[in-house]
A and B are shown apart, each in its own frame.
Chain A
Amino acid sequence: RKEVEQDPGPFNVPEGATVAFNCTYSNSASQSFFWYRQDCRKEPKLLMSVYSSGNEDGRFTAQLNRASQYISLLIRDSKLSDSATYLCVVNTNDMRFGAGTRLTVKP
């Protein structure tokens, strides 16, 4: 089993749609959690950290369920500019990345 597993995707959605990404991790000792965004042929960039109480940043909401070892990212009112690969990242002494879920938002 992979340490960090994500929805394989790809997700193709119209503008304005709500889309949710899921991620599970295997190591219960994992300490911190993140969502990174990676545009085609570019480096990953931090989208948001994921806290135990859940957190929101504009149209983006992240949730963490430590008991189920599950992380989610919700994007509301999706924009064309949200098209990218979304990487789930789990910090267990070092950063472990999922394979990523590709999102394409269409007009």
Chain B
Amino acid sequence: DAGVTQSPTHLIKTRGQQVTLRCSPKSGHDTVSWYQQALGQGPQFIFQYYEEEERQRGNFPDRFSGHQFPNYSSELNVNALLLGDSALYLCASSLVAGGLYNEQFFGPGTRLTVL
């Protein structure tokens, strides 16, 4: 049973560029959440997708956008990259029917460096 996978593993971009990160959820999961984790900090919620729609959104600017495909995989897009966007981007999948104590399974993350 494959867990959550993310690609690429590492990415280096320059300021002003755009980036797309990809996530495949754990088999059987229908919900994908994205997080940004800066060094020494806990993950910060970006947004969550279910049924191909954004269900919840954290305090991130519109430069951060996403998409969920019919096979439940997801993309995170960041436009006009800033130095402060350098972080580990984590994808987590879960099952919406899991309720309040719904475990989220995290992928290994994509480490983005903006120069």
Which A residues fall within an 8 A CB radius of B? 4, 31-32, 34, 42-46, 49, 87, 91, 93-100
Q: Are B107 and A46 in contact (CB under 8 A)?
A: no
Q: Are A42 and B108 in contact (CB under 8 A)?
A: yes
Q: Are A44 and B48 in contact (CB under 8 A)?
A: no
How many whole Å from A1's CB to the nearest CB in chain B? Answer: 15
Known interface pairs A32-B100, A32-B101, A87-B42. Does A94 touch B48 (Cβ–Cβ under 8 Å)?
yes
Inter-chain CA distance A91–B102, complex, in Å, is 10
Which B residues fall within an 8 A CB radius of A? 33, 35, 40-45, 48, 56, 58, 90, 100-101, 103-104, 106-109
Inter-chain CA distance A21–B75, complex, in Å, is 35
Question: Which A residue sits closest to B38, measured CB to CB?
Answer: A99
How many whole Å from A81's CB to the nearest CB in chain B? Answer: 19
Q: Are A97 and B101 in contact (CB under 8 A)?
A: no
Chain B residues in 8 Å Cβ range of A100: 41-42
Inter-chain CA distance A62–B35, complex, in Å, is 25
Known interface pairs A32-B100, A91-B100. Does A43 touch B42 (Cβ–Cβ under 8 Å)?
no
Complex A-B: 8 CB contacts under 8 Å: A32-B101, A43-B109, A44-B90, A44-B106, A94-B45, A97-B42, A97-B45, A99-B41
Inter-chain CA distance A28–B28, complex, in Å, is 32
Inter-chain CA distance A71–B105, complex, in Å, is 22
Inter-chain CA distance A43–B33, complex, in Å, is 14
Chain A residues in 8 Å Cβ range of B48: 94
Chain A residues in 8 Å Cβ range of B108: 42-43
Chain A residues in 8 Å Cβ range of B44: 97
Chain B residues in 8 Å Cβ range of A31: 100
Inter-chain CA distance A67–B40, complex, in Å, is 30
The one of B45, B107, B109 in contact with A95, judged by C-beta atoms closer than 8 angstroms, is: B45
Chain A residues in 8 Å Cβ range of B43: 44, 87, 97
How many whole Å from A51's CB to the nearest CB in chain B? Answer: 8
Chain A residues in 8 Å Cβ range of B107: 43
Q: Are B45 and A99 in contact (CB under 8 A)?
A: no
